[in-house]
Amino acid sequence: KETISNMLENNRPRTMINACEHWTDQIIKVLVNTGQNK
């Protein structure tokens, strides 16, 4: 797998979008899990 720095150097705009999508997915999973645990 590519390192974060390589990804940023190779395709900065697309990498930033992918990172945002990835973190959004992670946050949604956490929120869903938290809601189910209550």
C-alpha 23/C-alpha 21 separation (Å) is 6
pTM of the entire predicted model: 0.48
Q: Name every residue whose Cβ is closer than 8 Å to that of residue 7 and which is 6 or more positions away in sequence.
A: 15
C-alpha 14/C-alpha 36 separation (Å) is 33
Give the pLDDT confidence score for residue 28 in this predicted structure.
Answer: 93
pLDDT at 7 over 70: no
Q: Which amino acid is at 9?
A: E
- The domains of the chain are located at 4-37
Instruction: Report pLDDT digits (tens) over 20-37.
Output: 898 999 999 999 999 887
